[in-house]
Amino acid sequence: MSDIQQMEKYLSGAMDTAEKILFETRLNDDAMLKLNLVLQKKVYSLLGIYHRKKLKQEVEEVHRAIFNDPAKIHYQESIYKLFKF
Protein backbone atom coordinates (compact mmCIF):
# COMPACT_ATOMS: atom_id res chain seq x y z
CA MET A 1 0.00 0.00 0.00
CA SER A 2 1.38 3.44 -0.91
CA ASP A 3 1.98 6.20 1.61
CA ILE A 4 -0.92 8.16 0.15
CA GLN A 5 -3.27 5.22 0.55
CA GLN A 6 -2.08 4.70 4.12
CA MET A 7 -2.52 8.40 4.94
CA GLU A 8 -6.05 8.37 3.54
CA LYS A 9 -6.89 5.24 5.47
CA TYR A 10 -5.39 6.76 8.64
CA LEU A 11 -7.23 10.07 8.24
CA SER A 12 -10.54 8.36 7.53
CA GLY A 13 -10.21 6.16 10.62
CA ALA A 14 -10.30 2.98 8.55
CA MET A 15 -7.11 1.46 9.99
CA ASP A 16 -7.35 -1.33 12.51
CA THR A 17 -5.43 -0.91 15.75
CA ALA A 18 -2.30 -2.74 14.59
CA GLU A 19 -2.11 -0.77 11.32
CA LYS A 20 -2.63 2.48 13.20
CA ILE A 21 0.17 1.73 15.67
CA LEU A 22 2.56 0.82 12.85
CA PHE A 23 1.64 3.93 10.87
CA GLU A 24 2.02 6.22 13.89
CA THR A 25 5.43 4.65 14.58
CA ARG A 26 6.42 5.46 10.99
CA LEU A 27 5.16 9.03 11.49
CA ASN A 28 7.44 9.42 14.51
CA ASP A 29 10.44 8.15 12.54
CA ASP A 30 9.81 9.77 9.15
CA ALA A 31 9.66 13.58 9.09
CA MET A 32 8.69 13.65 5.40
CA LEU A 33 5.76 11.28 5.98
CA LYS A 34 4.65 13.45 8.90
CA LEU A 35 4.86 16.60 6.75
CA ASN A 36 2.92 14.89 3.96
CA LEU A 37 0.23 13.90 6.46
CA VAL A 38 -0.08 17.51 7.66
CA LEU A 39 -0.35 18.67 4.04
CA GLN A 40 -2.95 15.99 3.28
CA LYS A 41 -5.03 17.20 6.24
CA LYS A 42 -4.84 20.76 4.88
CA VAL A 43 -5.96 19.57 1.45
CA TYR A 44 -8.96 17.82 3.01
CA SER A 45 -9.78 20.96 4.96
CA LEU A 46 -9.56 23.19 1.87
CA LEU A 47 -11.71 20.77 -0.13
CA GLY A 48 -14.31 20.84 2.63
CA ILE A 49 -14.36 24.64 2.63
CA TYR A 50 -14.63 24.72 -1.17
CA HIS A 51 -17.52 22.24 -1.21
CA ARG A 52 -19.40 24.10 1.54
CA LYS A 53 -19.08 27.37 -0.40
CA LYS A 54 -20.19 25.68 -3.61
CA LEU A 55 -23.19 24.09 -1.88
CA LYS A 56 -24.13 27.43 -0.34
CA GLN A 57 -24.05 29.06 -3.79
CA GLU A 58 -26.25 26.30 -5.23
CA VAL A 59 -28.76 26.66 -2.39
CA GLU A 60 -28.85 30.43 -2.89
CA GLU A 61 -29.47 29.95 -6.62
CA VAL A 62 -32.39 27.60 -5.90
CA HIS A 63 -33.72 30.06 -3.33
CA ARG A 64 -33.59 32.92 -5.85
CA ALA A 65 -35.22 30.78 -8.52
CA ILE A 66 -38.09 29.78 -6.25
CA PHE A 67 -38.68 32.90 -4.19
CA ASN A 68 -38.24 35.49 -6.94
CA ASP A 69 -40.59 33.84 -9.44
CA PRO A 70 -44.20 35.08 -9.13
CA ALA A 71 -45.40 31.91 -10.84
CA LYS A 72 -44.28 29.92 -7.81
CA ILE A 73 -46.27 31.87 -5.22
CA HIS A 74 -48.23 28.80 -4.04
CA TYR A 75 -45.03 26.87 -3.51
CA GLN A 76 -43.53 29.83 -1.65
CA GLU A 77 -46.54 30.01 0.66
CA SER A 78 -46.41 26.29 1.43
CA ILE A 79 -42.72 26.59 2.32
CA TYR A 80 -43.40 29.56 4.60
CA LYS A 81 -46.16 27.59 6.34
CA LEU A 82 -43.75 24.73 7.06
CA PHE A 83 -41.45 27.04 8.97
CA LYS A 84 -44.04 29.23 10.65
CA PHE A 85 -44.38 28.58 14.35
Domain that holds residue 35: 3-83
Give pLDDT tens digits for 30-51: 999 999 999 999 999 999 999 9
- Judged against a pLDDT cut of 80, whether residue 85 lies above it is answered with no
Number of domains in the chain: 1
Give exposure, 2-40, as e/b (b: 16+ Cβ within 10 Å). Answer: eeeebbebbeeeebeeeeeeebeeebeeeeebeeebeeb
Which pLDDT score, from 0 to 100, does residue 37 have? 97
- Judged against a pLDDT cut of 90, whether residue 78 lies above it is answered with no
